[in-house]
Structure 1
Amino acid sequence: MYGLIEQKNKIHVCHIVHHFVAAGLENGIVNLINHLPTQEYRHSIICIADYDRNFIKRLKVRNIDIYELHKTAGNGVGWLYRCYKLFKKIKPDLCHSRNLNPLEAQIAAFLAGIRVRIHGEHGWDVNDLKGNNVKNQYIKKLFKPLIHQYVALSNEGMDYLKYRIGVNSNQLYHICNGVDVDRFHPKVNVSNPIDINFSKGAIVFGTVGRQVQVKNHQQLLNAFIKLKQSDIPNVQRAKLLIVGDGVLKEPLTAMAQQSGYRDDICFAGHRDDIPQTMASMDVFVLPSLAEGISNTILEAMASGLPVIATNVGGNPDLIMADHHNSHLVEVNDVTALSNSMAQYLINQERLEKDSIKVREHCVKHFSIESMVAKYHDLYTSLYQQKVSGRG
């Protein structure tokens, strides 16, 4: 257990996750906990498996405990009994699970008498990228009577819960992720962009994410290679920055090496200085096979980076409407992605104009304060209805 709680008599929210590691869903929880008013809340995080000791350093508040249940691979249920005992011990007011695996913990929450049970749909499982898996749908329908309120991050998630799982509209709450627009700035406001050894005047296309299948880096690499092979203006200035690690790093690096453009491609590995990393880019590209609401898109827009992305999940919810035709491409359409990237080489004035537009769009619609306010309203209203008796 990682314990910091010092005060009582606050709304006690228990967040259930599988792992608590550096990833989009988990980073959203960090942002929420760091910004909810500490005088009104305390938090527990129950990790069905484990947590990253370095990642939890991002938590800046002292009203939190973190627990591990050490579930191993397979279908064992011993962790559910440990979860039940833990619930009985810590007695949270609200239990908030996220995505498929943690949903099972709601059984333990129900048996332990937790009065408010919330479940969040943050995106698709890696083995169910379109939400079509019948078994997963059956499991979610089976657990539906245990859940008081559902949170969906995207419009796609709202439709999935309503029409495929059969959740009543009055149990659905739409809360999009938010981004810290003070931490993520356009590059003119960031003092130390990272050194990536690209020549002065380079136009840097970049991406940040785990190098795993669902992030589909292959499409980006193929599109960049196709771009470099073209004869469009300023193509010699085009560079590619890939940030992140993962199981596909070696084949992706080999692919870049064999392309003949290795000097124009930088694999920066895992980094914790993401604001500075974003400041080293000019255009952000996200070629994922599936997404919920991408924190990296939000961080890129807050950094003043035009975003080109695949037309999946919550990406259309985030991209400016004026950019839907020019900046959203279909999965694995290498030509469309290459052409979308090319527009910033052909018309460099557009880069500066779009940088201002996307920053303004992000600040207006996706501030972290807006996200936190919606969770605060949800938590307090359910607490008053079902725990304090004031509803």
Structure 2
Amino acid sequence: MKPAPLVVHLIYRFDFGGLETLVAECINRMPPQQYRHAVVCLTGYTEFARKISRDDVEIIALDKQPGLGLGTHLKLWKLLRRLKPAVLHSYNLSAVEYAFTAAMAGVPVRVHAEHDRDAGDPHGLNRKHNLLRRGVTPFIDRYVPVSEDLQRWLRQVVGVPDAKTLMIANGVDTERFLPQAHAGRDEFVIGTVGRVQDVKNHSGLVDAFIRLRELLPDQRHRLRLAIVGDGPLFGSIRDKVHAAGLDEVVWLPGSRTDIADLMSGFDVFALPSIAEGTPVTILEAMACGLPVVASKVGGIPEVVEQMATGLLVPPSDPAALDEALAIYVQDPQLAARHGAAGRARVERSNSIAAMVAGYARLYDTLRASKTKLSKA
């Protein structure tokens, strides 16, 4: 029997993060008779790649070094000629240029997904980067933004035609991420999950936690902070926590794969990012019935409704962040109502099944159109 067509997912690095979680979920849940998968990492991968549970998925590291890396294009070209995929699915700025390489290697369908922007360019206005995106647009069959904000940006700033974009909302496993009761517990845990890097602004969260303890002295003994994740700034965040004398009340477990279990121990989820697409961790937190306090950036306001499922604050504003957190500490009934509303919203609009079906349908549609063109 003829094997299912192959999708090659091209990512900068497969490490702890929401994007990597989505890639793993899509691979795990797409029927194997429909598509096979391989993951190509421009640099490398960590144990987090074990989230991919299918045993037929090859994971390949190209070991790209810092800089232009022209040799990486040749490595990828040779690899794609060997694998002969039906689809190349690349992710974010670091991988966009390789759509050209895939076209030269004869890959018939090239899809590029935009999931977020980085702290150095939170509004996506970097002229050089956008010239690159526009330059490779002829070699990309479809851009996939994960939020309406990113879709508007692709159209208005980058200049990608509407006909070349298709928004597919991020999804979450509502059967694994479930609300849990905290009956009889005195601690109030503010939790966050994500790669510890500048765009996530963990430093601002620590500052807000310090201020929160000062703002609510009568609640000080109850307050806890959990920062789950690893990354380039992990050491500096750990040092900041230690310097503030918070080692006993701030938990820094590093990278973990048991996120659903950990979230069940949170009382509120915080994400003070400088820039975002639609964070998977926020959807997971909402599925767990947690109220959310997050920056009003990117696609976050599309999923977190002010005073309905959470509280939105200006980015890089620790004072606004601690004041919002204080509302939930002091009003557990409001926190419960917002958490329940968030769970209902995710069940209604952000199922993982809808997301996976959307990508499979996109692959099918583009492959069929390319087949028609080749026969014309």
2:170 maps to: 177
Q: Is it true that 1:328 corresponds to 2:312 in the alignment?
A: yes
1:167 maps to: 160
- Matched residue SS, 1:14: strand
1:242 maps to: 227
Q: Is it true that 1:37 corresponds to 2:28 in the alignment?
A: no
Q: Is it true that 1:382 corresponds to 2:355 in the alignment?
A: no
Query: Structure 1 residues 241, 22: CA separation in 2 closer, same or farther (over 3 Å shift)?
Result: closer
Shift of 1:188: 3.7
- 2 CA distance for matches of 1:18 and 1:278? 27
Q: Which runs of 5+ in 1 are unaligned?
A: 1-6, 190-198
- Matched residue SS, 2:294: strand
CA RMSD of aligned residues (A): 2.2
2:321 maps to: 337
The two structures have a TM-score, normalised by structure 1, of: 0.89
- Matched residue SS, 1:75: coil
Q: How does 1:221-300 map to 2 (within 5 A)?
A: 221-231=206-216, 234-300=219-285
2:60 maps to: 67
Given that 1:292 and 1:314 are in contact with CA atoms closer than 8 Å, whether structure 2 keeps it comes out as yes
Shift of 1:249: 3.1
2:120 maps to: 127
Q: Is it true that 1:101 corresponds to 2:94 in the alignment?
A: yes
- 1 CA distance for matches of 2:176 and 2:312? 26
- 1 CA distance for matches of 2:231 and 2:160? 36
Shift of 1:76: 2.9
Query: Structure 1 residues 230, 131: CA separation in 2 closer, same or farther (over 3 Å shift)?
Result: same
1:27 maps to: 21
Query: Structure 1 residues 251, 95: CA separation in 2 closer, same or farther (over 3 Å shift)?
Result: closer
Given that 2:99 and 2:110 are in contact with CA atoms closer than 8 Å, whether structure 1 keeps it comes out as yes
- 2 CA distance for matches of 1:163 and 1:48? 29
Given that 1:310 and 1:330 are in contact with CA atoms closer than 8 Å, whether structure 2 keeps it comes out as yes
Q: Which runs of 5+ in 2 are unaligned?
A: none
- 2 CA distance for matches of 1:252 and 1:9? 48
Query: Structure 1 residues 172, 321: CA separation in 2 closer, same or farther (over 3 Å shift)?
Result: farther
1:171-214 superposed Cα distances (whole Å, 9 cap, x missing partner): 1100111111111111249xxxxxxxxx9411111111222221
Shift of 1:296: 0.9
- 2 CA distance for matches of 1:375 and 1:166? 23
1:295-325 superposed Cα distances (whole Å, 9 cap, x missing partner): 111111111111110111111122135448x
- 2 CA distance for matches of 1:110 and 1:247? 34
1:49-104 superposed Cα distances (whole Å, 9 cap, x missing partner): 2222x222211223422222222222131121121122122111111111112122
1:148 maps to: 141
2:188 maps to: 203
Query: Structure 1 residues 253, 95: CA separation in 2 closer, same or farther (over 3 Å shift)?
Result: closer
- 2 CA distance for matches of 1:113 and 1:245? 37
Q: Is it true that 1:352 corresponds to 2:316 in the alignment?
A: no
- 1 CA distance for matches of 2:45 and 2:372? 32
Q: Which amino acid aligns with 1:50?
A: G
- Matched residue SS, 2:326: helix
Query: Structure 1 residues 356, 125: CA separation in 2 closer, same or farther (over 3 Å shift)?
Result: closer
2:80 maps to: 87
- Matched residue SS, 2:137: helix
Query: Structure 1 residues 70, 236: CA separation in 2 closer, same or farther (over 3 Å shift)?
Result: closer
- 1 CA distance for matches of 2:237 and 2:97? 36
Q: How many residues align?
A: 374
- Matched residue SS, 1:387: helix
Q: Is it true that 1:117 corresponds to 2:107 in the alignment?
A: no
- Matched residue SS, 1:354: helix
Given that 1:47 and 1:69 are in contact with CA atoms closer than 8 Å, whether structure 2 keeps it comes out as yes
The two structures have a TM-score, normalised by structure 2, of: 0.93
**Identity across aligned pairs (percent)?**
36
Q: Which amino acid aligns with 1:244?
A: G
1:309-355 superposed Cα distances (whole Å, 9 cap, x missing partner): 0111111122135448x611011212211111111122122222222
Query: Structure 1 residues 364, 261: CA separation in 2 closer, same or farther (over 3 Å shift)?
Result: same
Q: Which moved more, 1:125-134 or 1:275-284?
A: 125-134
- 2 CA distance for matches of 1:250 and 1:64? 33
1:105-161 superposed Cα distances (whole Å, 9 cap, x missing partner): 212211122221111111113432221111001111111111111100111210111
Query: Structure 1 residues 257, 68: CA separation in 2 closer, same or farther (over 3 Å shift)?
Result: closer
- 2 CA distance for matches of 1:12 and 1:109? 14
1:225-269 superposed Cα distances (whole Å, 9 cap, x missing partner): 111112476454222122223333343334334435543322233
- 2 CA distance for matches of 1:251 and 1:76? 29
- 2 CA distance for matches of 1:377 and 1:322? 35
